[in-house]
């Protein structure tokens, strides 16, 4: 009898951090299926709007569906109200979508970050709809390594350039120790300008 593989594409390192003049989002590019490197240039950083971005860890199909869904909702918000969606509202909307599917969940771990009238924000979201704000967050299998770097080197008054350099340093540290993270780093900078 044939056996159907249940291995899925997983393994990631992503992060978001707030700086005094913007928000940094970053992620590695590798997607794996068990011990196979399934893709070497996987998109894990998404633009939701001019002021909001998303990083993704988990099942690629679930991530892509959610990114399209959230982007559409953010655009509808802007069309109906004539203003950009606040970052916290985007995180709450996404958490509600995830919570509504918790019995048939999206297998994801997300970071939503952006800049609005009240400043910079990053949120960590889990598959059950939990949404936690912080100054810096990380998701994926490489997150323990990222947190080690960020806990030691993050400063509240960092510039966007300093934040980008720290993000690259943190994801690089994860790629050195986490076998399922790698193939380079994508970085998005979100500023009020």
3 state DSSP class of 122: strand
Give the separation between CA 53 and CA 55, rounded to whole angstroms: 7
**Number of other CB atoms surrounding residue 77 within 10 Å:** 18
Residues known to be catalytic? 12
User: CA–CA separation, 60 vs 37, rounded Å?
Assistant: 13
User: How many helices (H) does the chain have, and how many strands (E)?
Assistant: 4, 12
Spell out the residues 6+ positions from residue 30 whose beta carbon is closer than 8 angstroms to its own. Answer: 11, 12, 37, 39, 40, 42, 180, 181, 182, 183
């Amino acid at each position: 009898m044939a056996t159907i593989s249940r291995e899925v594409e997983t393994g990631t390192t992503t992060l978001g951090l707030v700086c005094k003049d913007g928000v940094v989002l970053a992620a590695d590019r590798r997607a794996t299926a068990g011990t196979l490197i399934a893709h070497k240039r996987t998109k894990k950083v998404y633009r939701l709007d001019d002021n909001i971005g998303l990083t993704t860890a988990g099942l690629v199909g679930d991530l892509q569906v959610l990114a399209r869904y959230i982007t559409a909702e953010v655009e509808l918000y802007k069309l109906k109200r004539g203003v950009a969606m606040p970052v916290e509202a985007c995180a709450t909307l996404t958490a509600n979508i995830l919570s509504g599917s918790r019995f048939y969940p999206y297998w994801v771990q997300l970071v939503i970050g952006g800049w609005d009238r009240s400043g910079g924000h990053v949120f960590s979201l889990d598959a059950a709809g939990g949404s936690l704000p912080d100054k810096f967050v990380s998701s994926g299998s490489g997150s323990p390594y990222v947190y080690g770097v960020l806990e030691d080197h993050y400063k509240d008054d960092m510039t966007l350039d300093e934040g980008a350099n720290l993000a690259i340093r943190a994801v690089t540290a994860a790629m050195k120790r986490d076998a399922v993270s790698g193939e380079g780093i994508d970085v998005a900078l979100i500023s009020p300008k």
